[in-house]
């Protein structure tokens, strides 16, 4: 009985500590690396699907730190260059935007980007963690055009997924773009999902022409992000041939390594049979015994050249909480052998021309079985 009482007291105290945290309710939805100010980085795959076109996939890194009662949010593009920065003051369970900066540049190859500062209006709340409504007005211009943005959320839902609390915000953004010759209004409907201890785990945005789906890949430390950013001229998808685990010395690309396309592309490279073909491969060849005791996301990144041959495989490994883990060497070797058995992959085409491309396949493993194949 005494132990039970002590446990109850401990639970009450820890709950009060969370409740009294300067971040308020949202402190429950972020890992300790953020709530204790050290910071962390989220890696997302962003799938862009036009209503009348092929889906494209890009990568975004989002760095979040908490210092002096302010959240510092910085986005980095696929080439690790800073693309967006936001400073948010947290007060009374509200996220109030203090400043927003984006970057204008001539092309993806231009490393000298011009910062563009948003003007924040009187309504400055982007998220309200306690109530169902929030409103944010801001605008941006460069002299020849102006874009007025009105963002709001109008509903918040709480749920439980796999025993973890999930808070989902539903809202919209109205973009009124004006230049000397034209005015256009675009409405973005969105929802953002935050999971207990994990931060934003998904986001969905849709207009009448396109939809964006954000899928979390992993959460890494600031130190790991900085290490990856020391990449020279290589983009985020770059795979060092010397680090490949498939030992295919005869594998070559059709073009120079700088011309290998990243994940975002036109008619993307993939298994010829799509996900169905990969599931069939697993059903026929997988040794399920090797899955015992293994849980998380096991990703194989590789290159599919213009002829449809795959090579330069490496792995990235994360737990179900998107923390870094190590899968067994036997399982990694087994799944690699299965992927190498695929005689030919569907190569990327850009403007009807066959190209080399980076590809990834992620196996989500839970309860001793593969339950999902991504993307």
- 238-to-255, 257, 313, 329, 351 alpha-carbon distances in Å: 14, 9, 11, 23, 23
What angle in degrees, to the nearest 10, is found between the helix axes of 274-285 and 329-340? 120
Highest mean pLDDT among 9-23, 72-86, 156-170, 354-368: 156-170
Give span(s): CATH 2.40.360, the chain.
23-224
Query: Percent of the chain scored above 70 by pLDDT?
Result: 88
pLDDT digits (tens, 9 = 90+) for 193-242: 999 999 999 999 999 999 999 999 899 999 989 888 876 556 667 788 88
pLDDT at 11 (0 to 100)? 42
What's the CA gap between 98 and 350, in Å, rounded? 42
Decide if pLDDT at 71 tops 70.
yes
What is the per-residue DSSP string for 261-277? B-S--SB--EETTHHHH
pLDDT digits (tens, 9 = 90+) for 277-298: 889 889 999 999 999 999 999 9
Name which CATH class applies to 23-224: mainly beta
pLDDT digits (tens, 9 = 90+) for 92-118: 999 999 999 998 644 444 445 677 899
Phi and psi at residue 138, in whole multiples of 5°? -155, 165
């Amino acid at each position: 009985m005494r132990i039970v009482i002590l446990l109850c007291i401990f639970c009450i105290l820890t709950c009060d500590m969370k409740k009294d945290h300067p971040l308020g309710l949202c402190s429950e939805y972020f890992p300790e690396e953020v709530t204790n100010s050290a910071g962390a980085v989220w890696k997302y795959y962003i799938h862009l699907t036009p209503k009348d076109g092929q889906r494209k996939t890009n990568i975004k890194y989002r760095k979040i730190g908490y210092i002096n009662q302010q959240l510092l949010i910085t986005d980095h593009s696929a080439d690790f260059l800073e693309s967006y920065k936001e400073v948010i003051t947290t007060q009374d369970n509200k996220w109030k935007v203090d400043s927003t900066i984006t970057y204008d540049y001539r092309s993806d190859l231009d490393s000298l980007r011009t910062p563009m500062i948003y003007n924040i209006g009187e309504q400055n709340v982007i998220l309200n963690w306690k109530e169902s409504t929030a409103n944010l007005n801001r605008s941006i211009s460069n002299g020849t055009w102006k874009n007025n943005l009105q963002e709001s959320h109008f509903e918040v839902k709480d749920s439980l997924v796999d025993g973890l609390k999930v808070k989902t915000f539903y809202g919209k953004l109205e973009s009124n773009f004006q230049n000397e010759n034209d005015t256009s209004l675009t409405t973005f409907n969105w929802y953002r999902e935050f999971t207990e201890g994990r931060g934003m785990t998904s986001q969905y945005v849709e207009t009448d022409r396109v939809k964006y789906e954000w899928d979390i890949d992993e959460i890494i430390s600031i130190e790991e992000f900085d290490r990856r950013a020391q990449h020279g001229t290589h983009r985020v998808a770059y795979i060092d041939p010397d680090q490949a685990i498939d030992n295919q010395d005869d594998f070559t690309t059709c073009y120079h390594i700088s011309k290998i396309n990243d994940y975002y592309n036109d008619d993307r490279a993939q298994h010829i049979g799509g996900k169905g073909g990969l599931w069939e491969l697993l059903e026929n060849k997988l040794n399920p015994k090797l899955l015992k005791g293994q849980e998380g996301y096991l990703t194989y990144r590789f290159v599919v050249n213009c002829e449809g041959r795959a090579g330069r495989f490496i792995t990235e490994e994360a737990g179900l909480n998107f923390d870094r883990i190590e899968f067994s060497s036997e399982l990694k070797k087994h799944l690699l052998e299965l992927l190498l058995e695929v005689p030919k992959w569907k190569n990327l085409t850009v403007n009807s021309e066959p190209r080399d491309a980076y590809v990834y396949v992620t196996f989500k493993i839970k309860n001793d079985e593969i339950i999902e194949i991504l993307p």
